């Protein structure tokens, strides 16, 4: 057991409050036992806590809104790790200057946008966990979301960060917002050497505050749901919308027919989106356009586009006029899947958005053949070439860890090897994807991560449940 006298003295002096249960249980799975649960209110308190932990070799697990899906923000069962909850961190920092917003790490995304709304601005990161995810967590996971095709991911919205490293050193760092591969814009499967603290899940330090780039909020949105004639039509539809609307196209999402049917079946007071013939829809597209010009007639332009695509037979069915309903179905897919059975989640991206349909068909056919009990329920971000390729295994059948890994590998293998993509577009690595990182990540990338770890955290205290290097690296208090 590590010596915690230093840590307790710091906590007593600061009177930093901490809670228990909510900080020890993961969002979807995973529950650990922490040595201590601490909630620093400012950068100085965070620095002193980390100095103590580093001196005593105590492992530290930073936690944002605790809504991650790969186990990165949950302590293990050793009872030797400190969870640092960032929910109170720098809540006094909120200052906008033009399109720059300096904001504390503890601010929840929805709260940020509520405060910006009166100024006609918003932080355009659109994720399902916006009511719990905080700024520090968004940055450390490089969250993307449904509107990333237009506004970019969190990395593209972050111009400066204040980060505290393992030894308590406070660093202010200008970020490289341009460090995005246009053919694979969303890839959180490794550390970005240009922005090592963004997307690395607290592996190198803890975000204390940041300068985010905000946008003038559109005054009007319109959304359509389109059923493509076939998979080859999807890329054509996307290009037509991009040509017609340019930057006004804020979202282009894909939803399998199975996913939509589960929303109608499992989400109360919802019903089927395609009420007359829900079984006939194999795949649907959700497209959103937005304008800041009150004189622009979005309805007319969107209707003309829809009419043209229908006349060309590339779209067989189109829905328009109820944006809330369409987004309600899109945002409830994950919940609907979870209610159906045992979820096997994957989060992939392929190189080049035009290749996503081919991957989806290939992976679906192989999985149905090799694992006939599976229900295939893909949905995701068509414009980014990224997809939550989720599957449901029957509730009444045993899903062993080995079988689950075999099924996930059948998805990851073609995504990474054939389609030159990633096994983790958004969710990151974490303990749950460690085996995939070991299997699919080149040694040179792991070596680069080792160099960064040695530079910023030579004692290996930061998020010891996570390893972007080689598995045999010896960290402190890792069981």
pLDDT at 435 over 90: yes
Q: What is the pLDDT of residues 217-268, one digit of tens each?
A: 999 999 999 999 999 999 999 999 999 999 999 999 999 999 999 999 999 9
pLDDT at 179 over 70: no
The pLDDT, as a whole number, for residue 479 is 29
Taking the C-alpha atoms of residue 419 and residue 347, their distance in angstroms, rounded to an integer, is: 14
The pLDDT, as a whole number, for residue 230 is 94
The pLDDT, as a whole number, for residue 254 is 98
pLDDT at 59 over 90: yes
The pLDDT, as a whole number, for residue 30 is 58
Beta-ladder partners of 320? 224
The pLDDT, as a whole number, for residue 478 is 32
pLDDT at 475 over 50: no
Q: What is the pLDDT of residues 328-372, one digit of tens each?
A: 999 999 999 999 999 999 999 999 999 999 999 999 999 999 999
The pLDDT, as a whole number, for residue 421 is 98
CA 21: distance to chain centroid? 24
Question: 373 falls in which pLDDT band (50, 70, 90)?
Answer: very high
The pLDDT, as a whole number, for residue 23 is 54
The pLDDT, as a whole number, for residue 286 is 97
Q: Which CA distances in Å does 249 have to 64, 150, 252?
A: 30, 7, 8
Q: What share of the chain in percent tops pLDDT 90? A: 75
Ordered by where they begin, the domains of the chain are: 94-216 (3.30.465.10), 220-334 (3.30.70.2190), 341-435 (3.30.70.2740)
Q: What is the pLDDT of residues 73-109, one digit of tens each?
A: 788 888 889 999 999 999 999 999 999 999 999 999 9
Q: What is the mean pLDDT of residues 267-272?
A: 91
The pLDDT, as a whole number, for residue 3 is 64
The pLDDT, as a whole number, for residue 473 is 45
pLDDT averaged over every residue in the chain: 90
pLDDT at 17 over 60: no
Question: 1 falls in which pLDDT band (50, 70, 90)?
Answer: low
Q: What is the pLDDT of residues 129-168, one digit of tens each?
A: 889 899 999 999 999 988 998 999 999 999 999 999 999 9
Question: 203 falls in which pLDDT band (50, 70, 90)?
Answer: very high
116 with 123: CB under 8 angstroms?
A: yes
């Amino acid at each position: 057991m590590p010596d915690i006298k230093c840590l307790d003295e710091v906590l007593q002096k600061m009177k930093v409050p901490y809670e228990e249960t909510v900080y020890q249980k993961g969002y979807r799975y995973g529950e650990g036992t922490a040595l201590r649960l601490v909630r620093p209110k400012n950068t100085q308190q965070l620095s002193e806590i980390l100095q103590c932990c580093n001196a005593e070799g105590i492992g530290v697990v930073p936690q944002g809104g605790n809504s991650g899906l790969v186990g990165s923000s949950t302590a293990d069962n050793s009872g030797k790790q400190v969870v640092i909850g960032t929910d109170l961190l720098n809540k006094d920092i909120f200052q906008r200057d033009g399109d720059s917003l300096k904001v504390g790490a503890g601010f929840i995304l929805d709260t940020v946008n509520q405060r910006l709304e009166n100024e006609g601005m918003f932080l355009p990161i659109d994720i399902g966990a916006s009511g719990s995810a905080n700024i520090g967590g968004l940055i450390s996971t490089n969250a993307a979301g449904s509107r990333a095709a237009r506004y970019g991911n969190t990395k593209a919205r972050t111009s400066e960060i204040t980060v505290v490293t393992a030894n308590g050193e406070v660093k202010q760092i200008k970020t490289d917002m341009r460090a995005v591969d246009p053919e694979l814009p969303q890839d959180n499967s490794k550390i970005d050497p240009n922005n090592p603290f963004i997307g690395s899940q607290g592996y190198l330090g803890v975000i204390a505050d940041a300068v985010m780039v905000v946008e003038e909020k559109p005054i009007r949105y319109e959304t359509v749901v389109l059923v493509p004639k076939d998979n080859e039509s999807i890329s054509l539809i996307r290009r037509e919308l991009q040509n017609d609307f340019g930057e006004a196209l804020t979202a282009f999402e894909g939803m399998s027919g199975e996913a939509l049917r589960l929303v109608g079946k499992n989400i109360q007071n919802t019903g089927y989106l395609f009420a007359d013939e829900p079984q006939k829809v194999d795949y649907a597209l959700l497209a959103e356009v937005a304008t800041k010009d009150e004189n622009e007639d979005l309805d007319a332009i969107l209707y003309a586009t829809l009419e043209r695509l229908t006349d060309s037979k590339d779209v067989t069915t189109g829905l328009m006029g109820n944006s809330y309903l369409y987004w309600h179905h899109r945002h409830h897919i994950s919940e609907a899947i979870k209610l159906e059975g045992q979820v096997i989640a994957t989060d992939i991206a392929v190189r080049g958005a035009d290749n996503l349909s081919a991957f989806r068909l290939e992976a679906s056919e192989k999985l149905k053949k090799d694992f006939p009990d599976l229900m295939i329920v893909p949905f995701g971000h068509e414009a980014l070439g990224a997809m939550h390729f989720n599957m449901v295994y029957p509730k009444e059948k045993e899903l062993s860890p080995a079988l689950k890994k075999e099924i996930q590998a059948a998805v990851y293998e073609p995504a990474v090897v054939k389609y030159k993509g990633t096994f983790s577009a958004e969710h990151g690595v974490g303990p749950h994807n460690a085996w995939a990182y070991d299997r699919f990540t080149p040694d040179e990338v792991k070596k680069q991560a080792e160099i960064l770890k040695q530079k910023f955290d030579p004692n290996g205290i930061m998020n010891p449940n996570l390893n972007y290097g080689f598995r045999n690296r010896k960290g402190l208090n890792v069981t």
